[in-house]
Amino acid sequence: MRHDGRQDDELRPVYIETNYIKHAEGSVLISFGDTKVICTASVEDKVPPFLRGSGKGWVTAEYAMLPRATERRNIRESSKGKVAGRTMEIQRLIGRALRAVVDLKALGERTIWIDCDVIQADGGTRTAAITGAFVAMTDAIATVHKQKPFSSFPIKDWLAAVSVGITSENEAVLDLNYIEDADANVDMNIVMTGAGEFVELQGSGEESTFTSHELQAMLHYGEKGINELIDLQQEALAHAKDLLV
């Protein structure tokens, strides 16, 4: 059994609170255990230069942590004057993952800006961010749709993300918290759709390697976790659920 009493294939308690920030078109506070992330989706009626005149829209994401989201205070990236490599990697991942389920042509020349700000971190911030950002984005697009319906709703499928790993005792586990993550041999993030297809698969041995067999075990747990997360997203988006066929 895991140090917090969970089964190997068990998620932490997950909550999704919608309409969390009054100014944003879509916003949620999502928690995976003690990991808490504010995700907002802002709709802008223009696109980056490389898409102007293409009729296509764009989805882009930014990610940050409050300085004291972690056990030790981190220096702000604004004070350092540059964005860390880890941050860039995560925000590129969030944007790419969301775009995989958006019909950018149907969206039209609009940009959806996703902001994921971790207010408390306990492992799995990037997967919580993707899972929450999907809800905020869908809510924002549903808001636009209500005012002026799209001919075809631009979101093609549900999308969630979860982490899996191999512990130092060589056990596969689902949804690692910080203590587990720090000690794991292998860390993998999986992003999947409601239809059960992969969007992203990022697995890394941490000064370690993994076998084909361990890979299959992780994929199996990941799929289970994703299905449960999508159920929770569908509850949180009950009012918009019918828009996604």
In this chain, which of 204, 224, 232, 234 binds a second copy, going by CB under 8 A?
204
Q: What tokens does 26 get? A: 């879509």
35 labelled ligand-binding: no
Choose the stretch contacting a second copy; rule: CB under 8 A; options: 94-102, 124-132, 147-155, 225-233: 94-102
Contacts to a second copy from residues 205-244, by CB under 8 A: 205-212, 215, 219
Q: What is the C-alpha separation between 158 and 131, in angstroms, rounded?
A: 10
- Pick the closest to residue 191 from 95, 60, 87 (CA basis): 95
Q: What is the C-alpha separation between 175 and 144, in angstroms, rounded?
A: 33
Distances (CA, A) of 237 to 52, 80, 94, 112, 244: 31, 38, 20, 18, 10
What SS3 state is found at 166? strand
What SS3 state is found at 158? coil
DSSP line for 39-80: EEEEEES---GGGTTSS--EEEEEEEE-GGGSSSPPPPHHHH
Choose the stretch contacting a second copy; rule: CB under 8 A; options: 45-53, 81-89, 146-154, 229-237: 81-89
Residues in contact with 106: Cβ distance below 8 Å, sequence separation at least 6, in sequence order: 150, 151, 152, 153, 154
Tell me whether residue 84 or residue 179 sits nearer to a second copy (CB atom). 84
Number of residues that bind a second copy (CB under 8 A): 65
In this chain, which of 8, 9, 77, 109 binds a second copy, going by CB under 8 A?
77
In this chain, which of 51, 100, 106, 243 binds a second copy, going by CB under 8 A?
100
Q: Cα 237 from chain centroid? A: 16
Site membership for a second copy, residue 174 (CB under 8 A):
no
In this chain, which of 18, 40, 60, 127 binds a second copy, going by CB under 8 A?
40
- CB 40 → a second copy: shortest distance, Å? 4
Tell me whether residue 69 or residue 128 sits nearer to a second copy (CB atom). 69
Q: Classify strands 111-120 and 58-65 as parallel, antiparallel or unpaired.
A: parallel
Site membership for a second copy, residue 8 (CB under 8 A):
no
Choose the stretch contacting a second copy; rule: CB under 8 A; options: 96-104, 167-175, 225-233, 234-242: 96-104
Binding residues for phosphate: 86, 124-126
Task: Summarize as ranges the residues that interact with a second copy (CB under 8 A).
Answer: 21-24, 27, 34, 38, 40, 42, 44, 62, 64, 66-71, 73, 76-89, 91-92, 96, 99-100, 104, 113, 115, 117, 119-120, 188, 193, 195, 197-212, 215, 219
